[in-house]
Structure 1
């Protein structure tokens, strides 16, 4: 689940009213294009973290994988966020409930559940299940009064249809699926929550604080894991993936995702997130040798088409 960005006002409307009362269509605002690009970047990076969770399933216990991920991320973000977090400490205390909930959903629970799922579930299947999160994001936004628009709903349905067909193409259902469903719910709730982030909570400071609180919340589980499972052996095969998820999948991806939501909202960013099963399937095929058939390729094309349609506008 980031260097969170300062809350940015919603992008201006794509329609401009003239003095005659007519309405003219305008190009997609620059902020909207940037938000979609950042959402795509975060989606690609997080796809790699699913592959990493699967690759480390028998060498690094899930809780330890999550804990060290956030410790690494905390170290990376500290030069940018620690001082800002200290300056806004009174604001953080004032919004302690919001910060605690964001940390629990986006840091403590989400990635721990993903790592648990990776013990038994193929990476491609994890990505397919995770693709349900945009539907939940859209529902959360709609429940809060945000109008989605016909084009976005159509894109959501097209991409969702592609995901369902992709799952039907041969997803190997395993016991880790329940963990991935729980992770999906946590991520969707976290993304919807970000839209309501108080403007006083600065980006880097908010990110540092959520990483810190989330890692602290993981400490009891980390202690139990060390006592019961023992530590893992540091090696090239274990340390590099943990560094990847700590630096790229945490600091970089969370910054990009939080900024994307500030610019375009969780629903539109969620449509772009439908690209994740495509990215995960391709990466797992290249890096782990998990198969991808022609039927899956066609379904991926449907997903991409839905993303393009749904991300284009609100009409």
Structure 2
């Protein structure tokens, strides 16, 4: 098999896992598990798996203020917002608002913090994404206030992850260092808080529901996707990988409709199409290594 083909296969694998992350997270959100439980499962599993890697290979200084800051934003901040959003809003909405809005906020934050100058084509893509998101948001402003609240939490999660991504680039922190430090630091901070002060329903949840979250949140969506994503980035480049990741909103939205029996209306269809098209436009501006519009599903956490 040619190296280029392997690169695209790795990229497609990352796309599939990220798509599944949205569906599985919504499954957890509508299960007996509380958002607090899913966050704890995610951190505990990932930290246990990555602790040996930190001990033997990537001895990141966990007390470094920069590491502590990115861990707070990209770990606890992101997960707390995202999983509360998943408990209130449909997965099809998360498909648009999580991966779909990341190019928008990453571009804005990169302009402010990294002094980058996006091209006109990238700004055009950002405008398309914004229109698509606003179209979808009309579904959350009606009688169902929970959906609107869920959308707000998902947007907050997107802002957290976008800021995390920009800071990681600004401080030149490697992907493995970021994932390992976020997982371990988040576990150290969150798990005692969860055990002592936060509500839990994990004891009343069927083991099958817990197992799905353990495997997907703690292993596939953090470790496996990271390996596939970084491998693909090295082989096919940031632009091609970003274009593949632009498929996530569409694939996740379709998967949510068929697997979770979520309603599919015109605002959702238009939102998915516009956000996907805008994401592709933001990634086709050049072939330089840029911040990925849709980073590996956080353990990112």
Q: Relative to structure 1, is the Cα distance of residues 299 and 242 closer, same or farther in structure 2, using a 3 angstrom cutoff?
A: same
* Aligned match of 1:159: 129
CA distance in 2, matches of 1:256, 1:104: 25
| Alignment pair present for 1:124 and 2:92 | yes
Q: Secondary structure at the match of 1:229?
A: coil
Establish whether residue 248 from structure 1 lines up as the match of residue 220 from structure 2: yes
1:67 aligned partner: 40
Tell me, yes or no, if structure 1 residue 218 matches structure 2 residue 190: yes
User: Aligned to 1:282, which of 219, 238, 254?
Assistant: 254
Contact 2:257 2:263 in 1 (8 A): yes
Alpha-carbon deviations, 1:150-208, whole Å to 9, x = none? Answer: 1222222223323333444678634333322321221111111121233xx55434432
Corresponding residue SS for 2:181: helix
Distance 1:42 1:167, change over 3 A: farther
Q: Which residue of 2 aligns with 1:19?
A: none
What is the 5 A alignment of 1:228-247? 228-232=199-203, 233-247=205-219
Instruction: Decide whether aligned partners of structure 1 residues 308 and 126 sit closer, same or farther in structure 2, where only a CA change above 3 A counts.
Output: closer
For this pair of structures, how many residues does the alignment match? 273
Output the CA distance in 1 between the equivalents of 2:262 and 2:80: 23
Highest Rg: 1 or 2? 1
- Partner of 2:106 in structure 1? 137
Partner of 1:204: 176
Structure 1: tracts of 5 or more residues without a match:
1-29
Structure showing the higher helix proportion among its residues: 2
Structure 1 CA distance, aligned partners of 2:139 and 2:84? 24
Q: Secondary structure at the match of 1:194?
A: helix
TM-score by length of 2: 0.75
Deviation at 1:219, TM superposition (A): 1.9
- Label 1:212 to 1:293 Cα distance change in 2 as closer, same or farther (>3 A): same
1:269 shift after superposition: 7.8
How do residues 1-315 of structure 1 correspond to structure 2 at under 5 angstroms?
Answer: 38=11, 42=14, 44-57=16-29, 58-86=31-59, 89=60, 92=61, 96-130=64-98, 131-143=100-112, 144-168=114-138, 173-198=147-172, 203-224=175-196, 228-232=199-203, 233-255=205-227, 264=238, 275-293=247-265, 296-314=268-286
CA gap 1:167/1:278 in 2 versus in 1, 3 angstroms: farther
